[in-house]
Amino acid sequence: MLVRRLALFFAFILFASPTLAQDLQTAEQQLAAALAQKDAAAIERFLAPEFVLRGSPNVPRETWIKNAITLCWGDTFDISDLTIVQQTDDTAIVSLLMTTYRDPMTCNPATIRSLLTDVWTRIDGTWRLALRHSGPAGQGIAGQFAKTAPPPPRWERSAELSMVATGGNSDTQTVGAGMAIIWRPGVWTTRSRAAFVRSVTGDRVTAESLVAEIRQSRALTRRADIFGRAEYRVDRFAGISDRITAEGGFGWLLIQRPAHSVKVDGGGGLTHESRLAGDSLTFASATITSLYKWQISSTTTLNEEATISTDVTRFQGWRLQNGLNLAHNLTRILAIRISHELKHVNRPVPGFRKTDTVVSAALVTKF
């Protein structure tokens, strides 16, 4: 009896295993061919009812089939390094290298090499794919993990100083200073900033501006947040003795990529403005702000912030403010920044122009 059992065991090793291995290799080849031909019916036959593509998040069976027949895979493929890692009568784990020759997103010619780990299960005598995991091939240790940007720091603090002086026919000095603080205790983010510009011609102060702002926001999702903000502004360049604004709204991160990001805020509130000439204004306001960031390199960043606001009862009173700045890090704590700011008031203070521009260069320190 023992001899008979041993004989059956060795017969299974010598004859059954190669047959099963051949069946699995054939199944992999036929599934790849079905993908290349975008044959939805054939793909359906090869997938187990509970099939899932492992990922973060997982891709369910229905979505995977939809991607299989809509994305570009090309009409040729190569399967190599196929290995049966583990096998029982009804379950097998297979590892293989799949090479295709089209970028699935753009359909442009490309060599795409994927290291696949498949779990096959035998249902009613037919091998069907129950789970697949796909990763990049040929990247060594880097293929074992995903590299993402670290979360932003809990605290960010910066201060800056700028100065412009002219001599000869015009003796003018313009000094600017500012500071900003960001605090991220969790889902809440507090941003505060203050900036001051003063222009002196001879011994006389010709104009000055001051802005102080605090913004409190709470993240709702990775892309969405709600916010409230308050701002106090003095802008004697434009004839405004002081302006107070309080508003709230909703923000949405439209684009978040390694080099580029775009965020849009929309809200409404109340504004009171005292002017150096004419009547003071108090009105309900609506505001839309877009913030664009381009990480040109590890040390250079371009930022643009554009805000348009209006009196909701008198749309002729709209205002536009656009700030563009290019910052370059000299050291870990020191940077130089070149800025251009444009401010347009469609109904300016009597005696003042509609548009002001400021170009400045500043030395910025982070601490």
- What Cα–Cα distance (Å) separates residue 350 from each residue in 239, 241, 273? 8, 13, 14
Q: Are 145 and 115 in contact (CB under 8 A)?
A: no
- What Cα–Cα distance (Å) separates residue 341 from each residue in 181, 184, 290, 307, 358? 21, 28, 15, 11, 5
DSSP 8-state secondary structure symbol assigned to residue 222: S
pLDDT tens string 37-86:
999 999 999 999 999 999 888 999 999 999 989 988 888 889 998 998 88
Q: Which residues of 158-187 are buried (b: 16+ CB within 10 A; e: fewer)?
A: bbbebeeeeeeeeeeebebebbbebebeee
Q: Which of 141-145, 253-257, 307-311 has the lowest mean pLDDT?
A: 141-145
Q: Are strands 204-219 and 224-235 parallel, antiparallel or unpaired?
A: antiparallel
Q: Are 35 and 66 in contact (CB under 8 A)?
A: no
User: Can you give the pLDDT at residue 332?
Assistant: 87
User: Can you give the pLDDT at residue 263?
Assistant: 97
Provide the pLDDT confidence category of residue 165 given band limits of 50, 70 and 90: low
Q: Where are the alpha helices (DSSP H) in the chain?
A: 2-11, 17-37, 40-46, 61-70
Coil, strand, or helix at residue 281?
Answer: strand
pLDDT tens string 81-122:
899 888 888 899 999 999 988 888 888 888 888 899 999 999
pLDDT reading at 151 higher than 80: no
pLDDT tens string 257-309:
889 999 999 999 999 999 999 899 999 999 999 999 999 998 999 999 999 99
pTM of the model: 0.62
Q: Which residue has the higher pLDDT, 197 or 305?
A: 305
User: Can you give the pLDDT at residue 64?
Assistant: 93
| Six token digits for residue 316 | 């002729």
User: Can you give the pLDDT at residue 140?
Assistant: 58
pLDDT reading at 15 higher than 50: no
DSSP 8-state secondary structure symbol assigned to residue 221: S
Provide the pLDDT confidence category of residue 182 given band limits of 50, 70 and 90: very high
Provide the pLDDT confidence category of residue 205 given band limits of 50, 70 and 90: confident
Measure the CA–CA gap between 366 and 93, rounded to whole angstroms. Answer: 53
Provide the pLDDT confidence category of residue 255 given band limits of 50, 70 and 90: very high
Q: Which of 14-18, 88-92, 271-275, 363-367 has the lowest mean pLDDT?
A: 14-18
Provide the pLDDT confidence category of residue 11 given band limits of 50, 70 and 90: very low
Average pLDDT, the chain: 87
| Six token digits for residue 233 | 């502004």
| Cis before 18 (ω within 30) | no
User: Can you give the pLDDT at residue 43?
Assistant: 94
Q: Of how many residues is the chain composed?
A: 367
Provide the pLDDT confidence category of residue 155 given band limits of 50, 70 and 90: very high
pLDDT reading at 206 higher than 80: no
State mean pLDDT over 232-237.
Answer: 91
Q: Which of 1-10, 101-110, 132-141, 226-235 has the highest mean pLDDT?
A: 226-235
Nearest in space to 111 (alpha carbons), one of 65, 145, 78: 78
pLDDT reading at 13 higher than 50: no
Q: Are 306 and 322 in contact (CB under 8 A)?
A: yes
Q: Which of 62-66, 197-201, 234-238 has the highest mean pLDDT?
A: 62-66
User: Can you give the pLDDT at residue 175?
Assistant: 87
State mean pLDDT over 322-348.
Answer: 93
| Six token digits for residue 242 | 């002081």
Measure the CA–CA gap between 183 and 216, rounded to whole angstroms. Answer: 10
State mean pLDDT over 308-325.
Answer: 93
Provide the pLDDT confidence category of residue 166 given band limits of 50, 70 and 90: very low
User: Can you give the pLDDT at residue 142?
Assistant: 56
Q: Classify residue 56 as exposed, middle or buried by CB count within 10 Å of its CB (0-12, 13-18, 19+).
A: exposed
User: Can you give the pLDDT at residue 240?
Assistant: 92
